[in-house]
Amino acid sequence: MKVGTMFHNLRYYLKESYAKEHNIIRFDTLCDDLEWEVFSIYNEDANNGCIGNDTVYPDVGGYDAYIKDITEKSKIDMGIDTSNTDCIVTLVTCDYSYDNGRLFVHAKLKK
């Protein structure tokens, strides 16, 4: 959001020094304290079907292809290995550096 109230600080992940220094995202819930390791950061046009609403894959190959695709899109090599057994979280916000842009930060659950 333009006023900086929701996910505004995700934009800092486009700077390599920031991304590497803040590569862990922590979620504290009633039942668990979770750590997620950032492995992919990129921005693209929302019109290209990039939002990533697909959460069910017909087979392991489909999930493999999805993980490979979002890893290859990353503007920063985070040096994190991923596999089809990883549980991932995707954070998305508007990106005003161009029309209808979206910024994506993908992270995998640390075991």
Query: How do residues 62-109 score in pLDDT, each as one tens digit?
Result: 888 889 999 999 999 999 999 888 999 999 888 888 888 899 999 999
- Specify the DSSP element, H or E, that contains 107: strand 101-109
Parallel/antiparallel/unpaired status of strands 33-45 and 24-28: antiparallel
Answering whether pTM is above 0.85, one says yes
Q: Which domains does the chain have, with CATH numbers?
A: 8-109 (2.40.260.10)
- Beta-strand ranges (E) seen in the chain are 24-28, 33-45, 88-95, 101-109
